[in-house]
Chains A and B, each alone.
Chain A
């Protein structure tokens, strides 16, 4: 056996310590939350216009799923995109996300169109905060439509 190699093996550390970073893709856009929230809005409309029990059950189930996705997208923006320094431009940021997420919970439990509409308004506020902090330029690839 090579003595050099055995000395090296003896000296080699047995514990590995990490200095890790996370690797986010860095692409964020409130539009994702908005699309799911629009789904909730439309489902509430369709729910009201249909008396079929099976259809209504299915509509409620899908609304739950879409609402969960709204929460997910809002949370990703809140936890990953927004940084402490953004609070200077958007001082009510935490309150805004608190209200938006609460509103999603309300939409889950409700078949009132006004609740779904209020959620869209709150997501538009998040969108304004994202734009005010340069989100459009910083996180989307150039050539984003619209």
Chain B
């Protein structure tokens, strides 16, 4: 999630969420396929259309489209492989949502809100 969130950041997460937050919000969720706890940004809300492959995909009313902030090229430039996000594992159902990231409390010099980022979809 570079550059908004760095490895080792301490984040406060609100687990009392019952719906997908608006696009732009950063969420913690159980990743489809691996089931690992993962963090990504909401790129599209339930019911929205997202660009996928050479066409479009309409999200169901409990699904969101979650993407990494970095593009594949940016991730490669930072020394990582392609981000694993909805472009890889598809839409994410609401029952996989764990919480919404509220702010960062560590390291102290970067205390505060998570930077916004133009959403890719």
Contact = CB atoms under 8 A, between A and B. Distances in A.
A109 interface: no
Interface residues on A, range: 10 to 19
A21 interface: yes
B106 A18 contact: no
B4 to A, nearest CB: 10
Contacts of A15: 37
Interface string B47-91: 000001110000000000000100000010000111110010000
A9 interface: no
B81 A84 contact: no
Given A19-B5, A21-B82, A22-B84, A84 B52 contact: yes
B54 A88 contact: yes
B81 A19 contact: no
A23 to B, nearest CB: 4
B38 interface: yes
B1 interface: yes
Interface string B83-114: 11001000000000000000001100000000
Interface of B: 1, 5, 10-11, 28, 36-40, 52-54, 68, 75, 80-84, 87, 105-106
Interface of A: 11-13, 15-24, 84-85, 87-88
22 contacts: A11-B105, A11-B106, A13-B10, A16-B37, A17-B28, A17-B37, A17-B39, A18-B36, A18-B39, A19-B1, A19-B5, A19-B40, A20-B36, A20-B84, A21-B68, A21-B84, A22-B81, A84-B53, A85-B54, A87-B53, A87-B54, A88-B54
